[in-house]
Chain A
């Protein structure tokens, strides 16, 4: 309750009180019945003779099916001389496959009402399909062409190479995209599998050829290094029959393990400034290398991050948005990765408050380590994470994303059945321990994309580390 009101507000308060119901007790929130039991759809698996694993999650409410072919062909596999090859190869799957030309693939998908996407992230490539059940068979024919029989015509490689080149030009307009490229380059360095831009550079794009794409495809697109996850209005038996007929002849191959590149020894805290003249806001990224998704500390980290910056009422958002109004939103994240993922705290803040925002960020990032989390805050975060879980499994896309995580990071199939219990076991001491272990303000890389002329002096005056100028790729300016 705010103790100070203007005269006008007092008059209104009287009017409002006149509306107050005699029957309703508004003095405190209602006591709720116990939360519903967790009822997650089950995941079932089968393996084809060629080593391809199928995973099926039956959801029959709406006659749609979501299919994801998960291939161990992510951008972490990019060769050192050709960053962007994994995402380009995934893109090229659709540019002519089987007997279909590039536009025929797109036309057929649209005609079937199918969303067909082929993309790559750091840890894997995904060919996905979301389609009404009664068109699934034809859509799977198309998906099998795209995954098993991409043609990679020279003409299409040239076409997509040119398009990507133009898109990289456009990236220079987008400060958020710039920050997302620069941050990993600075945190991991160029030698690490996670340190290069997912969509490559100007030079690497110009060097993309059919041979390189086909070579990458042959090396990594193999059934024994892939899984197919199907969620929706289908049974395991139906799925197995449909997929065996289409993916059963996919040829195995030796896929090497992913080399765990070493990140550079963390340097002392520094501010990396990337100039964006005239920018109305500064895009801030603060962090460093964190743990891998497989760490047993993941549950404590989920709770920690929910307290710090994973939800609306988290400390960072409450401070920078709801107390100070410097931003439309401030958040943090531990990136789920096979190798060590990054911890990052982020916001876009009004240019004039860039230095003040950094002060508040650093204050919160230090406080979460220095002080134990109060009980009520801990309880709220744990409840938010665990009680909200059923809603995450409501749609085929939502359930697909959760089970993809299970499959991609080698988590046990019953992972989510035990998840709530594990979250419930996290204590305030656990949160402080992982905060101290995985958040290290002395070694933060602070990346700021903004108008240097307006923000540099204020940042320098904070005395939180040297200012280092970087270009839009996050690299040293020569």
Chain B
């Protein structure tokens, strides 16, 4: 959930799916230095002087998976509250001060983390750090019930705009609800429920802030046209005296057992029915995570993929088909969805999907299919090296790798995971996680027409 705009799908695509292979002699490198303040704040610095801009990217290691029962959506609501002013920065000034020096900012929340960035001209770095440190060190005195109420309204409108008023927008929460048991932290969507958003209080804000918004639960990546020495001095000046908070203790998540196929039907304001298949798989960077990304690419990565060819091109029974492995920090899932053309049944689509899964499980992919996926990922990876800021820029990726694998410059190693995938790995992944496993099958159908769903 970004604070502005509606590009939620982008986040998923940029950070969890995507990377490539090492074919070129030129290794991908993002040289960095790192240090940790006595209060536990870790800082990652990366110089890139190609353009006179600087990117400050802060990760708080808290997301919707840390929410407690009855407060779904709170991590994201809190992200919005972080822009409502702090002790020395009156409400509205955070954005105004940044725009007045030519800088942009935004924030976003996922299951696993909350991030905030400021991008702007290189001279704006002191202002960015001043503002970020003030809301880390001095937020609570300024947060009132009125401000919580206001951002509650904004977030509820975000839910309306991006989920309720968007066709098929409620599919994902219906899948999570069935794929993960109630006690699992991925059981609910990041945006949360209207009811829980309505229930959030000022006391929740205080407790959440004190538990998770601490220097020791945060990492700042600063990338761009910087002098590392100056940047370090500035970070020490603005963040050095903010007190360490309590350690964050998380219970291991309960195991996920999808022990039988689960069929569900959701009626929505849609013209055309759509079927979603969802399987429980592996978390990001686990052994088969990269192979599952290749599976998704072979099945539905563009118009030359197997499912597109069958469903959309040859049979012309679907308007679209999408597949992705979504490996996140503590777990993962694989999804396929396809939308029926007018006059066609979801059962027809599901039969073809199952045929193609079976073929891939029996015969594996061709060498060209694997290489094509690797080349596609590699190109995406290169393009993500172009930008220091924003969601998915180098600063954000340094934070991502740092949190997920403990090494900020993991770019080439990540790429190498895809270069190592062989046809046999793809075949085994299909058998292990898809054809050999149970799944959730969700049919989204026009209102009043549950009979259009896939028949179990």
Binary flags per residue of A271-309, CB closer than 8 Å to B gives 1, else 0: 000000011110000000000000000000000000000
- Residue contact A110 to B301, C-beta cutoff 8 Å: yes
- Residue contact A30 to B130, C-beta cutoff 8 Å: yes
Q: In the bound complex, what is the Cα–Cα distance between A381 and B165 (angstroms)?
A: 33
Tell me, yes or no, whether B240 is within 8 Å of chain A by CB: yes
Q: Between A and B, how many residue pairs show CB distances below 8 Å?
A: 279
| Contact of A162 with B316 at beta-carbon distance under 8 Å, contacts A32-B126, A313-B95, A391-B51 already known | yes
- Residue contact B150 to A322, C-beta cutoff 8 Å: yes
| Contact of A13 with B238 at beta-carbon distance under 8 Å, contacts A32-B124, A380-B100 already known | no
Tell me, yes or no, whether A349 is within 8 Å of chain B by CB: yes
- Residue contact B138 to A16, C-beta cutoff 8 Å: yes
Interface residues of A in 106-133 (CB under 8 A from B): 106-107, 109-115, 130-132
Q: In the bound complex, what is the Cα–Cα distance between A98 and B4 (angstroms)?
A: 44
Stretch of B109-117, B374-382, B402-410 that contacts chain A: B374-382
- Residue contact A27 to B154, C-beta cutoff 8 Å: no
Stretch of B252-260, B269-277, B279-287, B326-334 that contacts chain A: B269-277
- Residue contact B96 to A380, C-beta cutoff 8 Å: yes
Chain A contact-residue range equals 35 or more
Closest-CB distance, A352 to chain B (whole angstroms): 11
Nearest residue, chain B, Cβ from A326: B157
Tell me, yes or no, whether B440 is within 8 Å of chain A by CB: no
A323 contacts across to B, CB distance below 8 A: 150
- Residue contact B52 to A39, C-beta cutoff 8 Å: yes
Nearest residue, chain B, Cβ from A349: B157
| Contact of A35 with B102 at beta-carbon distance under 8 Å, contacts A16-B140, A170-B339, A278-B269 already known | yes
A261 contacts across to B, CB distance below 8 A: none
Interface residues of B in 151-209 (CB under 8 A from A): 151-154, 156-158, 160-162, 164-167, 202-203, 206
Which of B151, B164, B304, B382 interacts with A107 by CB under 8 Å?
B304
Tell me, yes or no, whether B99 is within 8 Å of chain A by CB: yes
A12 contacts across to B, CB distance below 8 A: 140-141, 206
Stretch of B62-70, B84-92, B352-360 that contacts chain A: B84-92
Binary flags per residue of A28-40, CB closer than 8 Å to B gives 1, else 0: 1110111111010
Interface residues in B, total, Cβ within 8 A: 106
A80 contacts across to B, CB distance below 8 A: none
Stretch of A60-68, A180-188, A440-448, A458-466 that contacts chain B: A60-68
Q: Which of A159, A279, A387 has the most CB of B within 10 A?
A: A387
A153 contacts across to B, CB distance below 8 A: none
Closest-CB distance, B194 to chain A (whole angstroms): 10
Q: In the bound complex, what is the Cα–Cα distance between A167 and B314 (angstroms)?
A: 17
B53 contacts across to A, CB distance below 8 A: 390-391, 394
| Contact of A383 with B302 at beta-carbon distance under 8 Å, contacts A281-B157, A391-B389 already known | no
- Residue contact A19 to B242, C-beta cutoff 8 Å: yes
B237 contacts across to A, CB distance below 8 A: 21, 23-24
A172 contacts across to B, CB distance below 8 A: 271
Q: Which of A36, A130, A311 has the most CB of B within 10 A?
A: A36
Tell me, yes or no, whether B264 is within 8 Å of chain A by CB: no
Q: In the bound complex, what is the Cα–Cα distance between A32 and B129 (angstroms)?
A: 12
Tell me, yes or no, whether A174 is within 8 Å of chain B by CB: yes
- Residue contact A36 to B140, C-beta cutoff 8 Å: no
Tell me, yes or no, whether B18 is within 8 Å of chain A by CB: no
- Residue contact A325 to B51, C-beta cutoff 8 Å: no
Binary flags per residue of A62-99, CB closer than 8 Å to B gives 1, else 0: 11100000000000000000000000000000000000
Tell me, yes or no, whether B76 is within 8 Å of chain A by CB: no
Binary flags per residue of B47-75, CB closer than 8 Å to A gives 1, else 0: 01011110000000000000000000000
- Residue contact A386 to B95, C-beta cutoff 8 Å: no
Tell me, yes or no, whether B398 is within 8 Å of chain A by CB: no
Interface residues of A in 346-396 (CB under 8 A from B): 348-350, 379-381, 383-384, 386-391, 393-396
A29 contacts across to B, CB distance below 8 A: 89, 97, 127, 130-131
Q: In the bound complex, what is the Cα–Cα distance between A375 and B362 (angstroms)?
A: 70
A256 contacts across to B, CB distance below 8 A: none
- Residue contact B238 to A169, C-beta cutoff 8 Å: no
- Residue contact A311 to B99, C-beta cutoff 8 Å: yes
Q: In the bound complex, what is the Cα–Cα distance between A64 and B383 (angstroms)?
A: 7
Q: Which of B48, B134, B165 has the most CB of A within 10 A?
A: B165
- Residue contact B342 to A113, C-beta cutoff 8 Å: no
Q: In the bound complex, what is the Cα–Cα distance between A456 and B167 (angstroms)?
A: 23
- Residue contact A113 to B378, C-beta cutoff 8 Å: yes
Tell me, yes or no, whether A195 is within 8 Å of chain B by CB: no
Nearest residue, chain B, Cβ from A23: B237
| Contact of A63 with B95 at beta-carbon distance under 8 Å, contacts A26-B134, A30-B130, A388-B102 already known | no
B140 contacts across to A, CB distance below 8 A: 9, 12-13, 16
Q: In the bound complex, what is the Cα–Cα distance between A352 and B378 (angstroms)?
A: 48
- Residue contact B303 to A103, C-beta cutoff 8 Å: yes
Tell me, yes or no, whether B439 is within 8 Å of chain A by CB: no
Q: In the bound complex, what is the Cα–Cα distance between A132 and B380 (angstroms)?
A: 9
- Residue contact A394 to B92, C-beta cutoff 8 Å: no
| Contact of A393 with B51 at beta-carbon distance under 8 Å, contacts A36-B225, A313-B96 already known | yes
A199 contacts across to B, CB distance below 8 A: none
- Residue contact A173 to B167, C-beta cutoff 8 Å: yes
Q: In the bound complex, what is the Cα–Cα distance between A279 and B268 (angstroms)?
A: 11
Q: In the bound complex, what is the Cα–Cα distance between A62 and B121 (angstroms)?
A: 21
Tell me, yes or no, whether A329 is within 8 Å of chain B by CB: yes
- Residue contact B154 to A30, C-beta cutoff 8 Å: no
Q: In the bound complex, what is the Cα–Cα distance between A324 and B101 (angstroms)?
A: 27
Q: A111-B372, A313-B99, A389-B102 are in contact. List 15 more A-B contacts (CB 8 A).
A: A2-B91, A8-B202, A28-B88, A32-B127, A62-B383, A102-B313, A130-B379, A135-B375, A278-B269, A280-B164, A322-B92, A349-B157, A350-B157, A350-B160, A390-B51
Interface set of A (CB-CB < 8 Å, partner B): 1-2, 4-6, 8-9, 12-13, 16, 19-24, 26-30, 32-37, 39, 61-64, 102-104, 106-107, 109-115, 130-132, 134-135, 159, 162-163, 166-167, 169-170, 172-175, 278-281, 311-313, 318, 321-329, 348-350, 379-381, 383-384, 386-391, 393-397
Q: List 22 A-B contacts (CB under 8 A).
A: A1-B142, A2-B147, A8-B203, A9-B202, A19-B243, A21-B237, A34-B123, A36-B123, A106-B302, A130-B383, A134-B24, A170-B167, A173-B270, A175-B165, A281-B164, A348-B157, A348-B165, A383-B101, A391-B119, A393-B51, A394-B387, A396-B386
Interface set of B (CB-CB < 8 Å, partner A): 4-6, 20, 24, 26, 48, 50-53, 85, 87-92, 95-97, 99-105, 119-124, 126-127, 130-131, 134, 137-138, 140-145, 147, 149-154, 156-158, 160-162, 164-167, 202-203, 206, 225, 237-238, 240-243, 269-272, 301-304, 309, 312-313, 316, 319, 339, 341-342, 368, 371-372, 375-380, 382-383, 385-389
- Smallest CB-CB A-B distances: 3 pairs: A387-B102, A325-B153, A113-B379
